[in-house]
Structure 1
């Protein structure tokens, strides 16, 4: 027995009701799961070379954070290439990207019935609808014609949402607004998160990106302030021009002015040629001043002049150079307090904080932690060539109950280390992370409800603070190098460090 006309009518009504795109997607999957009586379903949008989940039903929350590169997932590649309904045999040896990620079942079970529906609009692939079940014959009673109708309705809903998204972007460039326009959530600059705090931040990013206002990104260390700057630039009219990054905290006082404004030959010892500064390199684009609160008062005054008048002088030159640069600054300091304490100029603070954005700490983002975990695990799975990499349920509870003073960066490093440890124990390419691999520091046991003993992950007990810290750094660097095949540049990116700083740290730790 297949689907009746009333079933299709119900699905169509759900997709045309006056709700947001996200609500429509959620209703779509709820209706599909009810009509087809399946264990799980997912709606994915196709962008570039990857599928990104927009909505899920019956799958672990972390799936929403994963980015499925088509070439690395044979089943999704088959769906993308098919152009029609794809029924995978129950004994197919193609790995399923959702194996172990249906939390209502024993995570040792594997999906046996899998149907993929490519979503096509104007003869172009825009997404996919996947339907999974543990019963290998679950979808036998539904004809291909039934499934094509479901696919067509889903494709129409997704295409409408994508068109609205494009209209919103166009309206922003034209300086007008479209009331009620509501496209699917897209991850600007790969900002992962669907919590209320992150959705509010994304709306603020969209608003300020359409202007040329100076933005000040505030937030604790490790929250992702650089990603916010990238998202603002990427959605702005300057997106085709350079985004230049400068870490103010890493600037030695002796070269800071030259880094910002450039110098002429002979301006000082070692100035053997003319050199452009960051402002000139960013001309027409955006200059991101990270940790701007670390600038000296003298340099703050010179920066203020450029912001006020739009011109600069290279060190050693009397010639003024006009520049057109948008400034995005970031800091983890309380600049208002810094102004009161006379460590930061009040006039520069007001220049920078025209449009402040607060990036929430991880502890305020709820289930976003699991989305981020899924994003990072998919990255490590790809880099290590694993067929699957996931958390068990106890690990999910442990992560959700832990304290994360280092925020997203700490979570990323914790999962990277856990991946290396779990892979070393696994006899196959299907790797599962258990709580023992998540050697957390100060945290709370979600089952016992009491604080766990304080320890530094990877350090031997009984060491002093400095020795324990250095030992942990050595082990983390070694593990990261191993995961990246000895590539120092890739390891630096994974650790969130500048490559030169990583080399210097390794030398100080006696590793080079």
Structure 2
């Protein structure tokens, strides 16, 4: 005749090699336990901080799974945790039982009279515990304590199998998020290099190095396509968190109903389609950096919850009342004027101030002068390798056209334009040439208006009257530069001062003297 202990353990051993949902794995565990040790109720609880969270129960009311048992408030559970082996409480023990009145199918508030429990250790660390309860004060004996001790070892293996599967799932999610960055790093970008030599670009790199070494939250602003994501990656690489993940979320690319789940995660059944629990971007970025692209697109309700996480470091998954602590640095980016969004009531002022601890503006391509040629060369080399060409170049007319263009789509527009020009140029040759030259016509920029704004570091013709003093000519030139910068930055003096590398107070005095304000 098969021993009862063996009958209970054999199915659990078989389950270890099966791919099962956590709730089904734990249900089978408790069913086997009740087969081994008949009882009115059993429960599996996981220790999270100082709270025991029920993961699976049998014989207890369904609401038990929603309860959270603070260890300090439940002396029986605390005693079970403190003992290395199984614990049985005397039938006349006066300590309150956490399951009193919760035994399913019985009327009234009947108290549990026989209580047995055992801690579960996973890799020598207390993971949680198993409890058994009966209304019969003589249900359990010494043999049951011995059987429970043997059962607890396999229960711990069951829990470890579930934890390992969950960890693999989390690791897969991490790798999925980081795959694009690692792929780019291995594919020729060094890694996702910021290319440029213009004065404004050099100032940007200096600021990246400065803020990268700090723990400050950064708000990156700039036009669409100017490279805000690359700047975020560069800040992360400069930070002490560089060896931890950089997780990105495009806040504009998700439906409003999914943004909260993507940020904070969700539990199984939190909403229609949530067939399993899932970690959010905050948890995936633990110890590292979370990049919120197009943060100005966040709905107001989600803004409030994001603010709470930034203030307290605590988050709740959608559908859960359990809080998790997260250690994440935030880098946000937007092409909107968030200050104006605040005034219009579309963005929370308190969140704006939380995000803009260090505002960092990425200059548009039209302000970067001949950097456009450096970037064009970079994209040409990418296309050369992709197309299997020996050499790929721009003729002088094409270069001149690139420098004179206004680039409303910035670096992204340049990248796409170069790729199209290469394909068009190839199509004009019946045989693949050894050296493919991109002509100006292939760029399709002939009808575009040239840049009208002056570029920092470039010459701009300034009319000087014959006999005009040096001071008058300098004043005139300064006025031209300031006026044009004000137009580019829509009257924002702080941005003008930053572009011209002038202290804002000094700029204000100079502008007043020149009659600009």
How high is the TM-score relative to the length of structure 2? 0.49
Larger radius of gyration: 2
Q: Larger RCO: Structure 1 or Structure 2 (Cα < 8 Å, ≥ 6 residues apart)?
A: 1
